[in-house]
Amino acid sequence: MTSAQYHNTLYRTVSLETDRLLLLPPTLDDFEALHSMWSDSRVVAQVIDSPLTEEEVWSRLHRIVGHWALFGYGHWIVRDKRSGKFVGELGFFRFKRALTADFDTAHEIGWMFAKDSQGLGYATEAATAALKWLEADSQCKETVCLIAPDNLASLALAKKLAYEIKDEVIYRGKSMLVLRRQATSNQTSQDLTPSPGDLETGPAIPRREI
């Protein structure tokens, strides 16, 4: 039994497919790729103070798996559909950041893509599919994200996904922007068709994840 088969016996998982990508529930087999991405200083520079250690990425993988088990949603591993190559991770979390009651109970979107997979429109494509799936649930009225003001790549992507800046808060001693997206039947975003050159270097997870 592979690790993927083992995990699928423990909790219900959801896989999504786009024209170019597969969004898959995480397994132990994804650890090396995740560690390579989160330990790359070029990738995480705008998001966390320093690259994550092997131990921190190991704990992060456990948390992603646990989030799916507890809530029925979480972060997906994003892979190229043709080659199977790992390109990044994206999904929704409840972080308990203690910002506001409505923020802490909302679905918070976040993303991170490997250096060689940036600028290809993957983040837009994956996020569009993820939001469509989540917002099909009538109980999801709003999604949120938290982005540093100088993380221009993530702000550009969030704007493309129809997130709007609603507030500025201090989180862990740093100024952060709170963005929100309303889930409505006529939500179309701002042209969600991905195109090469989309900015997607930074995730909306501006914290050391351990």
pTM of the model: 0.81
Which residues lie across from 111 on neighbouring strands? Answer: 90
Any idea where the domains of the chain sit in the sequence? 15-182
User: pLDDT tens digits, the chain, 210 residues: what are they?
Assistant: 454 544 444 566 899 999 999 999 999 999 999 999 999 888 887 777 789 999 999 999 999 999 999 999 999 999 999 999 999 999 999 988 988 888 988 999 999 999 999 999 999 999 999 999 999 876 788 999 999 999 999 999 999 999 999 999 999 888 999 999 998 654 544 444 443 333 343 444 333 332
- Calpha distance 102→98 (Å, rounded): 10
Assigned fold of 15-182: Aminopeptidase (3.40.630)
The half-sphere exposure of 107 on its side-chain side, counting CA atoms within 13 A, is 24
Place of tokens 């889930």: 183
- Smallest CA-to-CA distance from 66 within 107, 26, 109 is with 26
Chain-centre distance of CA 98, in angstroms? 20
